[in-house]
Structure 1
Amino acid sequence: MIRVHSYESMGTYDGPGLRLVVFLQGCPFRCLYCANPDTISLTGGKLTSPDEILDMAVSQKPFFGSKGGITFSGGEPTLQADSLIPLFRRLKTAGIHICLDTNGGVWNRQTEELFGLTDLVLLDIKQFDESRHKALTGHTNAQTLRTAAWLEENGRPFWIRYVLVPGYSDGEDDIRNLGRSIGDYKNIRRVEILPYHRLGVHKYEAMGLEYSLKEVKENTKEQLERAEMLFREYFSIVVVN
């Protein structure tokens, strides 16, 4: 069984084309800006049969076209790698393109096998500087960067997703250091800059939690353009999502 938080049909922001997005429950990171704090708990969501997810994907396959497919997001889907591996095999047999949206912070034999079955990894790099990454997420970024290196070494195509949080992850030195570190990777197919937003603040209020970044304002057009310009110095395809 797979612990599912929610679904989005015909999603256009989580991978190429039109996609069925499956948001899974549970995450080891504690990102200060998390828009879905209700996905963090390992015990939330609904236990769901892999057959149900496969049937949904197959029923929507006519809408996917040549680029679309299914995306597993979260939470952090690699926490459920054991249950996802057989489902991924069945999805591949059905000819459905698979994306995996991950922070890359979990690594074991099962996650390695899961990455090997994934057509496109959406790798969320929160911050390049290790100390600032830990302040932002509660965890080091060492494994995330090792995951990026593994994807490159094993010829697995991936996108980089980078949330631009004013005062936390928009520093020029941090962006440049990230570019210098992985900008020559051949398997990075694009970099997505994700603007910081406050759409999940109401969830914190409903859950009786404090939103730590309530004083942080959303990006200005100039901030996004500046970040895009910096990333373009190191990566060939950069988009603001």
Structure 2
Amino acid sequence: MDIRVHSYESMGTFDGPGLRLVVFLQGCNFRCLYCANPDTIAIKEGNITQPDEIVRMAVNQKAFFGKRGGITFSGGEPTMQAKALIPLFKELKENGIHICVDTNGSIWNDDVKELFQLTDLVLLDVKEFNNQHHQELTKHNNQQTLLTAEWLEKQQKPFWIRYVLVPGYSDFEEDIQAMGEHFRNYQMIERVEILPYHSLGVHKYEAMGQEYLLKGVKENTPEQLEQAAQLFRRYFKTVYIN
């Protein structure tokens, strides 16, 4: 089954442990106001790719992965193509490739469950813990994301939480504290990553003839990032500013 790919990044260091081949897939069900890759949203775009081509790239780069690296599927939202990815993941596992999936956790069906079973590490993007704030930020509720985290915990599947700190949208102290209380007893959360807000994708909106809705939002100061990190460290042992 063909896979729709937006782009690749070789030797990536920001999307999972070690050096990684990052495959950015096409299609997303969220409409995050700060999305840096609006060109990945439409599912019918992207490059139609044979799974064997991705396996070949991963195997060719395997020597550089070392003990910690591997392949990461990002997007867009990878679980939109879960059915097509399952046989690809099986082939990658046969070749000893470590697999990460970067997901918003909002899509749930049997294909997604099987995909996560084949995944070594899930990078779970929790956009906001407060559901109202989450909907304002993504145009989608966060109920299934939290249920996905619960499933990962019960299945003893390691995962990281990734949190984009957007001034005025996801930097509320009470929301971070509520999130910490919710997850504080989870054993499978290996680390929390705070991702600074940036506006590097603004030019893409201009090129696509779309308005960037957070044009007036300034990027985080080091002090804001460290303050958020200190809040998260009350509840989680391993917290990084990515």
Name the counterpart of 1:59. Answer: 60
> In structure 2, how many angstroms separate the alpha carbons of the residues matched to 1:225 and 1:77?
30
* 2:238 alignment partner AA: I
Q: Deviations over 1:107-133 (max 9, x none)?
A: 000001101100000000000000110
Structure 1: gaps of 5 or more residues = none
Q: CA RMSD in A?
A: 0.3
* 2:79 alignment partner AA: T
Name the counterpart of 1:223. Answer: 224
Structure 2: gaps of 5 or more residues = none
The 5-angstrom pairing of residues 9-158 of structure 1 reads 9-158=10-159
* 1:163 alignment partner AA: V
Name the counterpart of 2:201. Answer: 200
User: Which runs of at least 4 in structure 1 moved beyond 2 Å after TM superposition?
Assistant: none
> In structure 1, how many angstroms separate the alpha carbons of the residues matched to 2:26 and 2:149?
23
Q: TM-score, normalised by structure 2?
A: 0.99
* 1:42 alignment partner AA: I
TM-superposed CA distance for 1:184, in Å, is 1.2
Q: Deviations over 1:152-177 (max 9, x none)?
A: 01000000000000000001000000
What SS does the aligned partner of 1:58 have?
Answer: helix
Name the counterpart of 1:172. Answer: 173
What SS does the aligned partner of 1:185 have?
Answer: coil
> In structure 2, how many angstroms separate the alpha carbons of the residues matched to 1:26 and 1:53?
18
TM-superposed CA distance for 1:183, in Å, is 1.6
What SS does the aligned partner of 2:228 have?
Answer: helix
TM-superposed CA distance for 1:238, in Å, is 0.1
> In structure 2, how many angstroms separate the alpha carbons of the residues matched to 1:233 and 1:219?
21
Q: Deviations over 1:49-95 (max 9, x none)?
A: 00000000000000000000000000000000001001101101100
What SS does the aligned partner of 1:219 have?
Answer: coil
Q: TM-score, normalised by structure 1?
A: 1.00
Give the count of matched residue pairs.
241
Name the counterpart of 2:185. Answer: 184
> In structure 2, how many angstroms separate the alpha carbons of the residues matched to 1:159 and 1:230?
17
What SS does the aligned partner of 1:197 have?
Answer: coil
TM-superposed CA distance for 1:27, in Å, is 0.1
Amino-acid identity (%): 69
TM-superposed CA distance for 1:149, in Å, is 0.3
> In structure 2, how many angstroms separate the alpha carbons of the residues matched to 1:82 and 1:181?
31
What SS does the aligned partner of 1:99 have?
Answer: strand
